[in-house]
Amino acid sequence: MAKKLFVGNIPYAMTDDQLMGIFSPLGKVVAANIVKDKFSQRSKGYGFVEYETEEDAAKAVETINGTDQGGRNIVVKEALPRPETNGQPAAEPRSNIA
């Protein structure tokens, strides 16, 4: 079963491909995307990476969380599920960062 991770404190200049490149060596990445502002298309400084297996995702959290990427220490956590919406567009999954 696929496992989605929240990645925070991403350098604003990082691309989706660069994000995938960081996480790919640790397992099969299904998707990697950086969330962008819908008007300016600028990075919001966070994104999501989805692994094919929970084991690869756990390894990525353990290995990459807190590492320096482009001068910033990124945060990698399990993404929280999307909240239920009553016909409204769903927001991106949230992180469990306190």
User: In which band, very low, low, confident or very high, does the pLDDT at 93 lie, cut at 50, 70 and 90?
Assistant: low
Smallest CA-to-CA distance from 38 within 89, 74, 78 is with 89
- Reported confidence tier of residue 2, pLDDT bands at 50, 70, 90: confident
Q: What is the pTM of this model?
A: 0.81
CA proximity to 92, closest of 18, 4, 2: 4
pLDDT class for 1, splitting at 50, 70, 90?
Answer: confident
**CA 67 to CA 80: how far, in whole Å?**
22
Tens digit of each residue's pLDDT (9 = 90 or more) over 8-67:
999 999 999 999 999 999 999 999 999 999 999 999 999 999 999 999 999 999 999 999
Q: Could you give the domains of the chain?
A: 1-6+14-36+53-81 (3.30.70.330)
Q: Which amino acid is at 9?
A: N
Counts of helices then strands in the chain (DSSP H, E): 2, 6
